[in-house]
């Protein structure tokens, strides 16, 4: 039996959380006659792109599992998700997890070939460019350290909405680079985080001029699905487009979504899923939203979501985060015209 270190609280964050869950699983399994030696524990490998400490966490968890007399298994490709040179990264983590019992890997990859270092993003010196170029490049390179300085300098001569438009165009370029595989997940996340910082500053200026939110956007990852990277990028983009965002998080039960819809009266509702086992639940969520009389447009997205499926359950479709915001803007415009 392969047992994943996940419980009702979702993904564990620490070594201690993983070991606690593993012990609980063994305890319950033994009650129904499954022997400890027949249990293989998966400590849940996450992507290094968003979890820089994951290698050390998994390594320590495996050692402690071994001390408990338990076998371990990990999916190597989870480690490299969203990164360049994935085969090399998978090989690297495979070699470094000395105490690992089993691994899920692609048998066609040359897993023990000479390792190569993944290329790093180089940040060009853009400080001598005109203000528009500095703003654009700060987002392009995910320069969280300097973005507020650049925005404050730009506010001396440019309107807040002008700056916002420049930043959004830069983020669109980031999305294009991601589509062309010129950028990878860490770059996209860095740019989205930089955009969030910039917009937090611009919000202050919008309030001064009486610039109101264009609408309320409520978003959730559906029940039993704990993926949120794409959702978080959509949120950053939606906020930069001046939407009030209500983020319900991940693994959200239908009841909680319905309660939040009633409470917040959103103009648009977004649902996310990344697994084939959870995407099918979107149809029930939408049916129940309609049953309580809420007719706000609903947009769905996620790796396993298709345009055909969206049409079949009467929802709008977004291929990616940038597409989601374009669709949200279109839905908002149509709603106002009607």
pLDDT in tens, 196-210: 899 889 888 887 776
As a whole number of angstroms, the distance between CA 319 and CA 178 comes to 13
Distance CA 149, CA 223 (A): 40
Residue 196, CA distances (Å) to 133, 139, 143, 192 in order = 18, 10, 12, 6
On whether the 131-208 domain is CATH 1.10.1240.10, my answer is: yes
Stated length of the chain: 338
| Residue matched to tokens 């610039």 | 211
Round the average pLDDT of the chain to a whole number and report it: 87
CATH of domain 215-337: 3.40.50.280
Work out the end-to-end distance of the chain between its first and last CA atoms, rounded to an integer number of angstroms: 55
User: Position of tokens 């909405």?
Assistant: 161
Tell me: pLDDT of 116 over 60. no
What distance in Å separates the CA atoms of residue 9 and residue 47, rounded to the nearest whole number? 19
CATH number of 2-104: 3.20.20.20
Residues 17 and 233 sit within 8 Å (Cβ to Cβ): no
Domain with CATH 3.40.50.280 in the chain: 215-337
Q: What's the pLDDT band for 111 if we cut at 50, 70, 90?
A: low
Give the span between the Cα atoms of 158 and 198, in whole angstroms.
14
Q: Which two tokens stand for residue 153?
A: 């300098």
Separation CA 128–CA 149 (nearest Å):
14
The residue that leads in pLDDT, 200 or 157, is 157
Query: What order do you get walking across the sheet with 243-247 strand by strand?
Result: 243-247, 215-221, 268-272, 298-301, 316-318
Cα 235 to its chain centre, rounded Å, is: 10
- Residue 338 is predicted with a pLDDT of 65
pTM of the predicted structure, to 2 decimals: 0.60
Q: How confident is the model at residue 105 (pLDDT cuts 50, 70, 90)?
A: confident
Highest-scoring range by mean pLDDT, 6-15, 249-258, 325-334? 249-258
- Least confident segment among 43-47, 192-196, 206-210: 206-210
Among 240, 263, 142, residue whose Cα is nearest residue 194: 142
φ/ψ region of 142 (left if φ > 0, alpha if ψ in -120 to 50, else beta) reads left
Instruction: List, by residue range, all CATH 3.20.20.20 domains of the chain.
Output: 2-104
């Amino acid at each position: 039996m392969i047992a994943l270190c996940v419980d009702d609280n979702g993904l564990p964050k620490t070594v201690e959380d993983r070991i606690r869950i593993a012990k609980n699983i063994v305890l319950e399994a033994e009650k129904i006659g499954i022997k400890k030696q027949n249990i293989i524990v998966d400590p849940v490998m996450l992507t290094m792109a968003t979890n820089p400490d994951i290698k050390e966490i998994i390594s320590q968890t495996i050692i402690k599992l071994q001390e408990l007399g338990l076998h371990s298994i990990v999916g190597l490709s989870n480690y490299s998700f969203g990164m360049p040179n994935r085969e090399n990264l998978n090989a690297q983590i495979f070699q470094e997890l000395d105490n690992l019992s089993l691994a899920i890997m692609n048998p066609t990859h040359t897993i023990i070939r000479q390792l190569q270092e993944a290329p790093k993003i180089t940040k060009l010196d853009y400080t001598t460019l005109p203000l528009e170029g500095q703003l654009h490049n700060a987002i392009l390179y995910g320069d969280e350290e300097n973005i507020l300085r650049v925005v404050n300098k730009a506010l001396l001569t440019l309107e807040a909405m002008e700056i916002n438009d420049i930043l959004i165009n830069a983020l669109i370029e980031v999305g294009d680079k991601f589509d062309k595989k010129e950028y990878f997940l860490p770059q996209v996340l860095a740019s989205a985080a930089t955009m969030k910082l910039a917009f937090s500053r611009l919000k202050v200026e919008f309030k001064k001029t009486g610039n109101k939110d264009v609408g309320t956007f409520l978003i959730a990852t559906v029940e039993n699905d704990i993926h949120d990277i794409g959702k978080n990028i959509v949120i950053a983009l939606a906020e930069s487009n001046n939407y009030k965002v209500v983020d319900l998080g991940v693994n959200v039960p239908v009841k909680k979504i319905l309660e939040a819809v009633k409470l917040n009266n959103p103009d648009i509702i977004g649902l996310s899923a990344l697994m084939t086992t959870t995407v099918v639940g979107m149809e029930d969520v939408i049916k129940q939203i309609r049953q309580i009389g809420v007719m706000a447009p609903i947009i769905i997205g996620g790796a396993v979501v298709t345009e055909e499926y969206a049409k079949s359950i009467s929802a709008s479709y977004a291929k990616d985060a940038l597409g989601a915001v374009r669709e949200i803007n279109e839905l908002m415009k149509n709603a106002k015209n009607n």
